[in-house]
Chains A and B, each alone.
Chain A
Amino acid sequence: MIVEFGSFALVLAFCLSLAQACLSGIGRWRRSSILAGAGEGAALAAFLAVALAFAALMHAFITSDFSVANVAANSHTEKPLLYKIAGTWGSHEGSMLLWCLALTGFGSAIAGFGRNLPKGLKSLGVMTQGVLGTVFLGYTVLASNPFVRLARIPVEGHSLNPLLQDPALAVHPPFLYAGYVGLSVVFSLAVAALIEGRVDAAWARWVRPWTLAAWSLLTIGIMMGSFWAYYELGWGGWWFWDPVENASFMPWLIATALLHSAVVTEKRGALPGWTVFLAISAFTFSMLGAFLVRSGVLTSVHAFAVDPTRGALLLGILALTAGSAFSLFAWRAPVLAPGGVFAPISRESALVMNNILLATATVMVLLGTLFPLIREAVSGTPISVGAPYFNLIFLPLMAVMIVLLPAGPLLSWKRADAKGVYQRLIFAALSGVGIALLVYALVSPRKALASAGLGLAVWLIFGALTEVAERTRFLRVSTGEFWRRVTGLPRGAWGMTLAHLGLGIFILGACFETGWRVEAAETLPIGGQLKVGAYELTLDRVAAVDGPNFDAERGLITARKAGIDICRPSPERRFYPAGGQTTSEVAICTLGLNHLYVVLGERRMGPTAPVWLVRAYWNPLAILIFLGPLTMALGGFLSLSDRRLRLAVGQRTAKTS
């Protein structure tokens, strides 16, 4: 019964989204605040209806209602509760429902929180959000309905892929989807601004918090996915340039570019066309990601929920929505007033450079992801484009960006004094070069690239701190005055500093981990020893474990350094009878900022007794790889909480409306 109720709520949500689009559109055309208000009401109602449908599906998963095809295919009675709940969005159908939940949620957020928006812009934004909701809900209802019942009810479900039964993975889709779909708000506001024919500082100020929110959530989602790959796939890598990873990375890169160009539009009124273009592109890349992940056109480690016919439908949706938005852009962009002028050396220029480099990186990732398809279609020969290609092009692009980055915030708007900036950054520059040379000379084995990367990270971190020191006049005023300045800095400024520091922290970890990781592998009998870096691992015992939905062997290992016990990792090798898969559950000892990463491999027959393949890695500073993005996201949220951002919007729109 609850399932039918959910199914009904889903269809209702589709109708409400359609009503939202029509009412808001007509409301704007007729300049009727009653119709526009009705459109906003419909937006809120559509969100509630999708939320009900979502709750109904979750209920079906929690109660293991195998009469629902989706539950039977993706759940199992013996699965722990967390994974039953996560199963709601673990399949194609469920994840589309989550997508729709976020989409209608953001639609009602514009309707609810957009009090300060000019009326016309708001109505058109709600309308566009309604159109998107109609299209995606229509797709969910007709082609990917999660509430389809089975005629013959199975006794037991198929279970979720065991690799996906993991806490970080279970919670990362909601973050990712909130991030992807959060960009739809920016898309809708861009479309609305194009129809209105006005892109000004007030518009950019409205776009920025939504971009910030989406970007921060996306950063956390990608970081969690990467962390999952790090400890679940069992070989310690954290980024594979896999198509699915690329699908999430492209919207992130564009959103990052948008964050920076929106600042220029907000503060200086420059680059309005480009900012609108990025705003449309960001959500387009989100939709492209949704299509790539689900269509099965690309193979991936994370391949999930693949279905070619639905892929074609999603491609149609992508072509329709993005196509019309870009056509509108081509038609209306010339109407937009060109913004303020600036000199070659100015903060505007620095932000344009940032945008050129990020846009190139996005094009490169897109091309690398799709090129195997293009090449096969053209010449018939399949080829692979893997990590070596992406690293070869992406790393130099980012290196150039990081060399330029610390100067950006120190340059003044319009026309800057290059010499002053050079004098202020000389300390950071010398520190970066010094550390790079020192590490290259002293750390064994010698790694030129990793040392250079470390130097860049130090330059970036010191550069960001220099900027704070400049703003607070550190060491040049009394301590009291300094504290007054520190506490007086707007949160937006701290947010930027944190985000840039986070990037530096990430690079620090990434360089150390890739440059100086140590690995060892040996087949060990009970009592056997393996040396990895400074640590000695002893396989004390292997125990049989009877898990809730798996059987496992657990290796009980003691790690010692110079004879002293450090930690006791206990990695597992699990067998899931429901799907017949074997996975390895990695054990990670966190020692300071470093990871000792231990994997239990297969059991083999030794000469006298059984032996186990044990692999261990010493991953120096590995935590920073994940701490960095977290700091970046924190910066985003901090900036979002800046009161000035919200107050200023209110003041500005009060004047215009």
Chain B
Amino acid sequence: MKRVLVILAAVFSLAAAADPSERLSDPVLEARARAVFSEVRCLVCQNESIDDSTADLAADLRKLVREEIKAGRTDAQVKAYLVSRYGEFVLLQPTLSLANAALWGVPLGVIVLGFALFLLTLRKRGGEMDLTAAEAERLAQLSQDQAQ
């Protein structure tokens, strides 16, 4: 079991956050901390997570997250704590809230609308594909002529 955990920890460890001087001794907690890092923004950087960033602030945030996780908080609690301190800006994945409804809803709306329009056009124009009874009869007659 211990070996599996060591392998897991090796796989989860990434980038700047891998600095051995920062790591937690428990590989399970460390792996959880790493997962949280990739969803937290380094506030002073240009669109980097604290997992990737080498900025001092990112190191401070990593320390904070590791401490919180070591103290037994759940991932959700840690993120909520970060939001209460730094605002929603700190989360790289926006919350599923009413204010972000457009962000989550529009892609869904576009694809539903796209398919609906497509189906409607198919239905409206699909009729043109089928032969009318008279046309079918004429076709049958023509092919019979051909056969003879």
Q: In the complex the two chains form, is B111's CB within 8 Å of A386's CB?
A: no
Stretch at the interface among A109-117, A298-306, A318-326: A298-306
Given contacts A367-B106, A389-B93, A523-B21, contact A356 B11 (CB under 8 A): no
A246 to B126, CA, bound (A): 38
Q: A342-B122, A613-B19 known; 7 other A-B pairs, CB under 8 Å? A: A299-B46, A353-B118, A367-B103, A379-B99, A381-B87, A382-B88, A386-B93
Given contacts A384-B41, A388-B38, contact A520 B13 (CB under 8 A): yes
Q: In the complex the two chains form, is B110's CB within 8 Å of A360's CB?
A: yes
Chain B interface (Cβ < 8 Å from any Cβ of A):
4, 7-8, 10-11, 13-16, 18-21, 38-39, 41, 46-49, 52, 87-94, 99-100, 102-103, 106-107, 110-111, 114-115, 118, 122, 125-126, 128-129
Across the interface, A521 reaches (CB within 8 A) one of B8, B13, B99, namely: B13
A301 to B53, CA, bound (A): 11
Q: Does A343 contact B (CB under 8 A)?
A: yes
Q: In the complex the two chains form, is B92's CB within 8 Å of A352's CB?
A: no
Q: In the complex the two chains form, is A363's CB within 8 Å of B107's CB?
A: yes
Q: In the complex the two chains form, is B87's CB within 8 Å of A445's CB?
A: no
Q: Closest CB of chain A to B25's CB: distance in Å?
A: 15
Stretch at the interface among A168-176, A235-243, A496-504: A235-243
Q: Does A522 contact B (CB under 8 A)?
A: yes
Given contacts A341-B128, A360-B107, A375-B100, contact A388 B11 (CB under 8 A): no
- Chain A residue nearest to B41 (CB atoms) is A384
Given contacts A518-B10, A615-B18, contact A356 B114 (CB under 8 A): yes
Give chain A's interface residue range (CB within 8 Å of chain B). Answer: 35 or more
B114 / chain A contacts, CB cutoff of 8 Å: 356, 359-360
Q: Does A591 contact B (CB under 8 A)?
A: no
Given contacts A300-B47, A367-B106, A384-B41, contact A519 B92 (CB under 8 A): no
B41 / chain A contacts, CB cutoff of 8 Å: 384, 386
A198 / chain B contacts, CB cutoff of 8 Å: none
- Chain A residue nearest to B128 (CB atoms) is A341
Q: In the complex the two chains form, is B10's CB within 8 Å of A519's CB?
A: yes
Q: In the complex the two chains form, is B110's CB within 8 Å of A343's CB?
A: no
B21 / chain A contacts, CB cutoff of 8 Å: 523
Q: Does A26 contact B (CB under 8 A)?
A: no
Q: Does A562 contact B (CB under 8 A)?
A: no
Q: Does A415 contact B (CB under 8 A)?
A: yes
Across the interface, A388 reaches (CB within 8 A) one of B39, B48, B99, namely: B39
Q: In the complex the two chains form, is B47's CB within 8 Å of A386's CB?
A: yes
A352 to B13, CA, bound (A): 42
Q: In the complex the two chains form, is A383's CB within 8 Å of B129's CB?
A: no
B110 / chain A contacts, CB cutoff of 8 Å: 359-360, 363-364
Q: Closest CB of chain A to B86's CB: distance in Å?
A: 10
B129 / chain A contacts, CB cutoff of 8 Å: 341-343, 415
Q: Does A465 contact B (CB under 8 A)?
A: no
For this complex, 13 residue pairs linking A to B, each with C-beta atoms less than 8 Å apart, are A301-B46, A342-B129, A352-B118, A353-B118, A367-B107, A381-B87, A381-B88, A386-B49, A445-B4, A519-B11, A520-B18, A522-B20, A523-B20
Q: Closest CB of chain A to B57's CB: distance in Å?
A: 15
A363 to B19, CA, bound (A): 38
Q: Closest CB of chain B to A226's CB: distance in Å?
A: 15
A429 to B39, CA, bound (A): 35
A237 to B48, CA, bound (A): 11
Q: Does A392 contact B (CB under 8 A)?
A: yes
Q: In the complex the two chains form, is A382's CB within 8 Å of B89's CB?
A: yes
B107 / chain A contacts, CB cutoff of 8 Å: 360, 363-364, 367, 393, 397
B48 / chain A contacts, CB cutoff of 8 Å: 240, 301
A54 to B14, CA, bound (A): 43
Q: In the complex the two chains form, is B111's CB within 8 Å of A384's CB?
A: no
Q: In the complex the two chains form, is A388's CB within 8 Å of B47's CB?
A: no
A360 to B118, CA, bound (A): 14
A397 to B21, CA, bound (A): 40
B126 / chain A contacts, CB cutoff of 8 Å: 341, 343-344
Q: In the complex the two chains form, is A387's CB within 8 Å of B92's CB?
A: yes
Given contacts A363-B106, A371-B102, contact A519 B18 (CB under 8 A): yes
- Chain B residue nearest to A302 (CB atoms) is B46
A353 to B129, CA, bound (A): 20
A522 / chain B contacts, CB cutoff of 8 Å: 20
Q: Does A385 contact B (CB under 8 A)?
A: yes
Among A349, A393, A415, the one with the most B-chain Cβ atoms within 10 Å of its Cβ is A393
Q: In the complex the two chains form, is B88's CB within 8 Å of A389's CB?
A: no
Q: Can you list, as one digit per residue, whether each of A510-526 has a CB less than 8 Å from chain B (1) or not (0)?
A: 00000011111111000
A82 to B95, CA, bound (A): 46
A387 to B103, CA, bound (A): 14
Across the interface, B103 reaches (CB within 8 A) one of A235, A368, A382, namely: A368
Among A299, A367, A383, A392, the one with the most B-chain Cβ atoms within 10 Å of its Cβ is A383
A487 / chain B contacts, CB cutoff of 8 Å: none
Q: Does A439 contact B (CB under 8 A)?
A: no
Q: Closest CB of chain A to B138's CB: distance in Å?
A: 20
- Chain A residue nearest to B114 (CB atoms) is A356
A498 to B129, CA, bound (A): 34
A353 / chain B contacts, CB cutoff of 8 Å: 118
- Chain B residue nearest to A371 (CB atoms) is B103
B100 / chain A contacts, CB cutoff of 8 Å: 371, 375, 383
Q: Closest CB of chain B to A519's CB: distance in Å?
A: 5
Q: In the complex the two chains form, is B93's CB within 8 Å of A392's CB?
A: yes
Q: Can you list, as one digit per residue, whether each of A528-542 has a CB less than 8 Å from chain B (1) or not (0)?
A: 000000000000000
- Chain A residue nearest to B12 (CB atoms) is A519
Q: In the complex the two chains form, is B10's CB within 8 Å of A384's CB?
A: no
Tell me the chain A residues, 78-133 only, with Cβ under 8 Å from chain B.
none
A445 / chain B contacts, CB cutoff of 8 Å: 4, 7-8, 11
Given contacts A363-B110, A519-B14, A520-B13, contact A383 B94 (CB under 8 A): yes
